[in-house]
Structure 1
Amino acid sequence: MQAQLKDKQDVSATFTVTVPADVVDAAFERVLGALARQVKVPGFRPGRAPRGVLIQRIGADALAEEVREALVDEHYPQAVRELDLLPVHAHFHGEPPTAGAEFTFEVHADLYPTFELPDFDSIELDATAPEISDDDVTETVERLREEHATLVPVERPVEPGDVLTVETLGEGGGSNMPVDLGRTEPHLVEQLTGRSMGDELTLDLGVDPAAPAAADGDSEAGSEADSEAAAQDAPADEGDAPRRSLAIRIVDVKAKELPETDDAFAATLGFESWDATLSEIRSSLASQADRDAFSKQREAFVDQLMAATDMGLPKSMVARRQRALIEELKDDLEQRGMTLQGYLEELEARDARAGFDQELTQAAERAVKRDLVLEAVLERVGTEIGDAEFEAGVRMMAMRERKDVARFKQEMGEEWLRNYRFLLNRDRALREVVAAKTGRDRRDGSADAEEAGAASAGADAATEASGHDDAEGAHEDEQA
């Protein structure tokens, strides 16, 4: 075999592989022998059909294609090693081989990018410990009081903070539902404030969150009224985006009677005294603030790493991530009663498809670069979680799916489990680096558990980073 490099760029290469005639002939014999044991020829026992009859049965073109595939599978990995390349994807071009002649095929390969991470010490992070103010504690206390409030019927106009019972009107109406004005979007509170029991009105629910105009973010009213299936399209006030409306009747109005902040309320919450309740609230807020701060520090660290790292991105890796993002969008749209095709057609109608495609490409490129950078962090740090930690993460995932651990493992498969362990190792390495820079101890097992769910979301896509892919890269055959 002879491999010749024709062209090499940062993340791509073109090379040819030439296989000697005697090796080609041996491949023909080997493939024919294997097919003779598999193909049934009438009148002959398996493996006993004459060569000519067998070839006629198989077809000369089909035989040549089988030999071509066998030669590529055998000699492509050898050529990659000889040329010292690390492909992540490859296309093969070449005519089918002929017995008695050498066989040459050309390879167009995407290569794993070569890059250097900056020194971790060169990256600065804000290591200031978060502080919990009295206002933070007061806000939490008020939320707890709201959650444990007693609802008292009132005979007065609606005020902000009340809890209403409303009946939907019109086609498909007739159902009652609660509306907590303390948890409802301001534009709905404004429409309901001042109304009285028995009033009928049509609520403006705003722009349809499932419309393409709202593709960058969902809008939720925060109450059942905003998601009621009886909502109807109304004339648009803003551009061409459809708005929704809902006809209702106010059936009941109740005010919230909040509990006093005393030992009796503390007992309701499971504490011995109100002072103990305040202490636990402050402690819980501090723990959550610490987790949030650490999460922001991790993202800041990754952002700075990415900004300071120059690399080319293989087109095949970006394309795979684009397809994954499209699949996620498709699933999200289906949950909202839409189709991907319909969504894209709406974008076309609004001349917004080009912008969508550009944002999709940018998101895919960022995701691929992030994966590659984090993989390099893992290689530099050399973190390896133990089997006990890995099994704990798998148990958590099985619990989330409400499945037995053994069944969950069987359904997910060995490849998923390998990818999941890889992502847990990667996340642990990142936490250790950021913890060292900020002086925080985030190496405990609970920290791993916190990340298990996040890591699992991308476990199926772990092979996007080619270092976790097949060493010789995925490949596709193409005949010239």
Structure 2
Amino acid sequence: MKSAVETLNPTRVRLTVEVPFEELKPSLDAAYKKINQQVSLPGFRKGKVPARVIDQRFGRGAVLEEAVNDALPKFYTEAVNEGELNPLGQPEVDITELKDGELLTFTAEVDVRPALEIPDYSGIEVTVDAVEVTDEDVEKSVEQLRERFATTTPVERAAAEGDIVTVDLEAKVDGEVLEDGVAKGVDYTIGSGQLLDGIDEAVTGLAAGGTATFTSELKGGSAEGKEAEVKVDVTAVKSRELPALDDEFAQLASEFDTLEELRADSRERLARMKKFDQATQAQEKVLEELLKLVEVPMPEKLLEDEINTRKHNLEHHQLGQMGLTLEKYLELQGKSAEEFDAELKEQAEKGIRTQFVLDEIVNKEKLSVGQDELTEHLMRRAQTSGMSPDQFAQAVVEQGQVPMLVGEVARGKALATVVEAATVKDSNGEVVNLDEEDETEAAAETVEAAEETKEA
């Protein structure tokens, strides 16, 4: 076999492959054997029909076609390896010559991973938010915990802000009660803004047994977006009582004996969260700066496939689960179809460029992935998927996605390497030394977010 590579552009090549006919013999033998198993001819036992009879009855062309289809993947792979190419996607194959007994010639056009020059990235500088936990942050955290331990008590008085009212609702559009416009026994906290616009004003001041009507734009259902006349009947009013902020509350809500210990723990936890957020911010900003340094030719077919996949996932997975069409989603987002397509293209390009650049750094820095690192990544991915680690691991193996996970970990390590070489300062001008564990985990999440075949 002989092959030649013609570079069509930085991301696409054409392979021309010549195969001497004798190298087709294993595939020809396999073709005759396959046809033998599929046909029955009088006078011959099944599987024992001679080749010359198969040629006479079914035509030599049918045998050649079967043999060539069987052999093409093997010769294409040999040509790719010989040319030291990194193909992306499936090739477009064209058989240019087939001389029985002499020669097979074919061409294969395919996108390839472009050669990239990675410049010195140690000069990258980024600024991130300083880690600051205020007393207000701590009190807000403690107050949220306090809310979880609130108790409710029925009261015989008019409802006020903060009370919980139990209501029956009936919505009419153009004087007709909607089939899906009736709800009974709904608990609503006045002032939460979690139901219909106008309901707070309608129920404030009503005691159990009170009724009011108000007009509101429906946020869902069969008449979504339409103005409806809503009747609300209050069937019960309950006051919410928060526990006193004291040591007894700390003992009730946590493992701590005193309120001060609870506050100190909240401060530490908030600091850890903000530190991780800081690491994530550093990764994102360093990645942006890194991508500015590298010129990445974009394979058109790969980009087209990536855009289509992201759009399909958005339409048929996420939006489908929410009961939204793409048109309704764009309406809610306040975007035109043209703006959406432009954003999707930009996201897809960034994902491809991120993968190419970080893969090049993996090779340049000779980064490898250990079993412990892969296991840790698998556990984290299992958490976000809602599956158990065993289930997720089984699915990954069955779908042949282990190399994909290894690539994710390696690219996360590549980004962490770049961040280590960069200068990261906080908004106070202080140099930030990122925690290694936070840095590694944040890098993996940043890479996944950039490369994600868009589901959101």
Same fold, TM-score > 0.5, yes or no: yes
Q: Return closer, same or farther for 1:98/1:336 CA change in 2, 3 Å cut-off.
A: same
From the superposition, tell whether residues 429 and 311 of structure 1 become closer, same or farther in structure 2 (CA, over 3 Å). Answer: closer
Confirm or deny: 8 A CA contact 1:157 1:195 kept in the other structure.
yes
Cross-structure match for 1:196:
206
The Cα of 1:285 is off from its aligned counterpart by 0.7
Match of 2:411 among 426, 451, 462: 426
Q: 3-state SS of the aligned residue for 2:401?
A: helix
Amino acid at match of 1:66: E
Residue of structure 2 equivalent to 1:16: 16
Partner of 1:65: 65
What is the alpha-carbon distance in structure 2 between the residues aligned to residue 193 and residue 118 of structure 1?
Answer: 65
Residues 374-408 of structure 1: per-residue CA shift (max 9 Å, x gap): 32333344443432343344345556667665554
**Which whole-Å CA distance do the structure 1 matches of 2:359 and 2:192 have between them?**
42
C-alpha displacement of 1:101: 3.9
Report the CA distance shift for 1:151/1:10 in structure 2 as closer, same or farther (over 3 A). same
CA distance in 2, matches of 1:378, 1:65: 42
Comparing 153-162 and 261-270, the one that deviates more = 153-162
Pairing 1:50–2:41 present: no
CA contact (8 A) 1:165 1:179 kept: yes
- In the TM superposition, residue 192 of structure 1 has moved relative to its aligned partner by 4.7
Q: Is 1:19–1:104's contact at 8 Å kept on the other side of the alignment?
A: yes
Per-residue deviation, 1:68: 2.5
Structure 1 match to 2:286? 301
Worse-matched range after superposition: 273-282 or 397-406: 397-406
Pick closer, same or farther for the CA change 1:188–1:406 going to 2, 3 Å.
same
SS at match of 2:436: coil
| Equivalent residue number for residue 429 of structure 2 | none
Question: RMSD of aligned C-alpha atoms?
Answer: 3.8
Aligned partner of 2:149 in structure 1 is 148
What is the aligned partner in structure 1 of residue 107 from structure 2?
Answer: 106
**Distance in 1 between the 2:132 and 2:259 partners?**
22
Partner in structure 2 of residue 175 of structure 1: 184
> Relative to structure 2, which stretch is displaced further, 451-460 or 363-372?
451-460
Q: Which residue identity is paired with 1:103?
A: L
> 335, 346, 350: which one pairs with 1:366?
350
Which structure 1 segments of 5+ residues have no match?
209-228, 236-242, 463-480
Q: TM-score, normalised by structure 2?
A: 0.79
Mapped partners of 1:367, 1:401: distance in 2: 20
* AA at the equivalent of 2:206: S
* Structure with more of its chain in strand, by fraction: 2
How far did residue 456 of structure 1 move? 8.0
Partner of 2:251: 267
Task: Report the secondary structure of 1:300's partner residue.
Answer: helix
Q: Secondary structure at the match of 1:312?
A: coil
CA shift in 2, pair 1:284/1:245, >3 Å: farther
Matched residue type, 1:148: F
1:282 aligns with 2:292: no
- Alpha-carbon distance in 2 for matches of 1:319, 1:84: 25
Q: Which position in structure 2 is the counterpart of 1:323? A: 308
Equivalent pairs counted in the alignment come to 428
* Distance apart, 1:287 and its partner CA: 0.7
- C-alpha deviation, 1:155, in angstroms: 5.4
What do the CA deviations read for 1:171-221 (whole angstroms, capped 9, x no partner)?
A: 34242122234543595576457452323334625665xxxxxxxxxxxxx
Q: Distance in 1 between matches of 2:229 and 2:285?
A: 42
Q: Whole-Å Cα distance in 2 between the matches of residues 245 and 368 of structure 1?
A: 51
